[in-house]
């Protein structure tokens, strides 16, 4: 193996973000330690209130990670054996493993060719009398097409749980994601647009009773210590993570604006490169660019070329869920999900993070253009 080249452009740079807010982060962590407020307590309550305000939804229940937020929401929404829940075929597996764990059956829907999000026509096509809910994912930071999804949900009495793990502050027709469904789940995994320094997650909802049931389930089935109404789980946001998130939250709007500038700049730098498909934004949707995903017929060769130039890329996600061993028992074939199948071999996520420099973006664009020149016949 040849030695790995020095990294010219990392995929993400969490340390750069830390350096920009170091004093505030260090002080916040020191304060949690000074007061020993590790579990529950004022830092967690404050972050829940602040996050609810920023997303404009009244109730926020924090928890240990984004995967738990999906699970907790579905347990509180309530599913019974045999119930079916619709989810996109191409997303991170948290979205669907939690459907199974909550006790329902996952029913995959193919994705939209341009936005990578769940195709509402597929949602309509996959409805059965046993369908109880749908989990749209605002993948890569672009909102799913919520109007037709909410319309179907209303007509068929389904609940809607929005997976907002990649879409903090994204808007659809001027309205924030997370505000459409019965509940919305968020991840604060370090690399997410709002990231903790460890695992963290939250669920938001307009429904006070649902919020109470979610909080109860996440806290061993009791809101008040010792008073267990049901059996629950232990899924807590800890004080250190809450304090870190409270320092970062006021920066989220600025970081999001920066991601939008970066996406626009990539659009200019990469325009017209033969064989490269740039991400498409549907009308009236304002993505937050958690990922900047291009497509290329020779994706693996392109990724290897970029790696040889010290540019890190990621594939989100290399195998669509129905084709994974975990779902082999569904017996799906590639023809069942042609769009997700087409995407999985073509998608490539380029470096994007608020601190990326114009120089770094130019290095990425030049290397992609160089690849196109080296392989003109490869389209
Ligand atoms: C990150 C992510 C999750 C899960 O979040 P964790 O905090 O890693 O558990 C769920 N859904 C999607 C789409 C994600 O990207």
Overall average pLDDT of the 312-316 stretch: 98
Q: Which stretch of 43-47, 219-223, 278-282, 371-375 has the lowest confidence by average pLDDT?
A: 371-375
Average pLDDT of 370-376? 86
Task: Answer yes or no: is pLDDT of 218 > 70.
Answer: yes
pLDDT category, 5, cuts 50, 70, 90?
low
Residue 149 has pLDDT above 70, yes or no: yes
Q: How confident is the model at residue 377 (pLDDT cuts 50, 70, 90)?
A: low
The average pLDDT across 291-314 equals 98
CA dist., res. 332 & res. 166, Å (int): 27
The residues pairing with 160 across neighbouring beta strands, listed in sequence order, are 134
Mutation to probe ligand 1, out of 93, 177, 189, 195 (largest number of atoms < 8 A from CB): 189
Cα 376 to middle of ligand 1, angstroms: 38
CA 273–ligand 1 middle distance (angstroms): 32
Q: What is the percent of the chain with per-residue pLDDT over 90, rounded to a whole number?
A: 95
Q: Which residue of 12, 66, 162 sits with most ligand 1 atoms within 8 Å of its CB, as the best mutation to test the pocket?
A: 66
Q: Ligand 1: which residues within 6 Å by Cβ?
A: 65-67, 91-92, 94-95, 137, 163, 165-166, 187, 189, 199, 201
Domain boundaries, the chain: 16-250, 252-374
Nearest to 352 by CA among 166, 162, 164, 94: 166
Question: Closest by alpha carbon to 242, among 58, 49, 94?
Answer: 49
Closest CA to ligand 1's atom 5: 66
pLDDT tens-digit series, residues 247-275: 999 999 999 999 999 999 999 999 999 99
What residue's CA is closest to ligand 1, atom 14? 165
Q: Is the model more confident about 186 or about 224? A: 186
pLDDT at 317: 97
pLDDT at 223 over 60: yes
Ligand 1 atom nearest the C-alpha of 199 is 7
**3-state DSSP assignment of residue 237:** coil
Task: Supply the pLDDT for residue 224.
Answer: 86
Q: Which residues in 155-214 belong to E strands, given as ranges?
A: 159-163, 171-172, 175-176, 183-187, 201-205
If you measure from the C-alpha of residue 166 to the centroid of ligand 1, how many angstroms do you get, rounded to a whole number?
Answer: 8
Q: Are 339 and 36 in contact (CB under 8 A)?
A: no
* Cα 198 to ligand 1 centroid, rounded to whole Å: 13
The CA 92 to ligand 1 mean position distance, Å, reads: 7
pLDDT at 379: 45
State how beta strands 59-63 and 105-109 pair.
unpaired
Please tell me the predicted confidence (pLDDT) of residue 170. 98
What integer pLDDT is reported at residue 263 of this predicted model? 98
3-state secondary structure of 353: coil
70 close to 63: Cβ distance less than 8 angstroms: no
Question: Is 60 exceeded by the pLDDT of residue 4?
Answer: no
CA of 277 to the centre of ligand 1 (A): 26
Take residue 363 and report the two structure tokens written for it: 């290095």
Once rounded to an integer, what is the mean pLDDT over residues 53-79? 97
Residues with Cβ < 8 Å from 303, sequence gap 6 or more?
Answer: 313, 315, 348
For ligand 1, the distance from its centroid to the CA atom of residue 268, given in whole angstroms, is 30
Average pLDDT over residues 305-321: 98
> pLDDT band at 225, cuts 50/70/90?
confident
Considering only CA atoms, which residue is closest to atom 2 of ligand 1?
165
Candidate of 177, 187, 190, 321 to mutate for ligand 1, largest count of ligand atoms within 8 Å of Cβ = 187
- The percentage of the chain sitting over the pLDDT mark of 70, rounded to a whole number, equals 98
Average pLDDT over residues 79-87: 96
What tokens were used for 88?
Answer: 């996109």
Measured in Å, residue 67 CA sits from the centre of ligand 1 at: 6
What is the DSSP code (8-state) at residue 3? Answer: P
Question: What is the chain's percent helix, strand, coil content, to nearest 5?
Answer: 45, 15, 40
Q: What is the pLDDT of residues 269-281, one digit of tens each?
A: 999 999 999 999 9
Give me ligand 1 centre to Cα 34, in Å. 31
Mean of per-residue pLDDT scores for the chain:
96
Classified by CATH at the fold level, domain 16-250 comes out as: 3.40.640
What confidence tens digit (pLDDT) does each residue in 333-371 have? 999 999 999 999 999 999 999 999 999 999 999 999 999
Which residue CA neighbors atom 7 of ligand 1 most closely? 66
For every residue of 269-288, DSSP letters joined together read HHTT-TTEEPPP--TTEE--
User: DSSP character for 264?
Assistant: H
Domain 252-374 has CATH 3.40.140.10: no
Q: Closest ligand 1 atom to the C-alpha of 137?
A: 13
Whether residue 345 contacts residue 315, with contact meaning beta carbons closer than 8 Å, is answered with no
Ligand 1 center from residue 279 Cα (angstroms): 21
What's the rounded Cα separation, in Å, for the pair 136 and 119? 9
Residue 230 phi/psi, 5-degree rounding, is -145, 175
Residue 214 near residue 131 (C-beta atoms within 8 A) = no
Query: What pLDDT sits at residue 1?
Result: 46
* For residue 96, pLDDT beyond 90: yes
Nearest CA to ligand 1 atom 10: 94
């Amino acid at each position: 193996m040849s030695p790995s080249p020095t990294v010219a452009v990392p995929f993400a740079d969490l340390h750069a973000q830390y350096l920009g807010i170091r004093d505030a982060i260090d002080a916040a962590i020191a304060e949690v330690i000074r007061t020993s407020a590790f579990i529950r307590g004022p830092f967690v309550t404050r972050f829940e209130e602040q996050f609810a305000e920023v997303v404009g939804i009244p109730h926020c229940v924090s928890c240990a990670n984004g995967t738990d937020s999906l699970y907790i929401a579905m347990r509180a929404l309530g599913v019974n054996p045999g119930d079916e829940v619709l989810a996109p075929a191409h997303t991170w597996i948290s979205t669907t493993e939690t459907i199974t764990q909550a006790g329902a059956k996952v029913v995959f829907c193919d994705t939209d060719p341009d936005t990578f999000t769940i195709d509402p026509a597929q949602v309509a096509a996959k409805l059965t009398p046993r369908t109880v809910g749908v989990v749209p994912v605002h993948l890569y930071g672009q909102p799913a097409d919520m109007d037709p999804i909410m319309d179907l949900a209303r007509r068929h009495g389904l609940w809607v749980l929005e997976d907002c793990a990649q879409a903090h502050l994204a808007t659809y027709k001027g309205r924030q994601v997370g505000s459409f469904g019965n509940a919305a789940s968020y991840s604060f995994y370090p690399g997410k647009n709002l990231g903790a320094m460890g695992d963290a997650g939250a669920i938001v909802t307009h429904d006070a009773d649902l919020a109470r049931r979610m909080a109860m389930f996440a806290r061993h089935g009791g809101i008040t210590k010792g008073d267990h109404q049901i059996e629950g789980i232990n899924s807590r946001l800890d004080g250190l993570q809450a304090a870190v998130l409270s320092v970062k939250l006021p920066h989220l709007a600025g970081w999001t604006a920066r991601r939008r500038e970066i996406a626009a700049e990539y659009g200019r730098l990469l325009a017209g490169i033969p064989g490269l498909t740039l991400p498409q934004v549907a009308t009236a949707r304002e993505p937050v660019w958690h990922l900047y995903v291009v497509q290329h017929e020779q994706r693996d060769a392109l990724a290897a070329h970029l790696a040889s130039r010290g540019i890190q890329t990621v594939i989100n996600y290399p195998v669509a869920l129905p084709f994974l061993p975990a779902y082999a028992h569904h017996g799906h074939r590639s023809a069942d999900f042609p769009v997700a199948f087409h995407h999985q071999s073509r998608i490539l996520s380029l470096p994007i993070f608020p601190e990326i420099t114009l120089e770094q973006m130019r290095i990425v664009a030049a290397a992609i253009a160089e690849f196109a020149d080296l392989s003109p016949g490869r389209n």
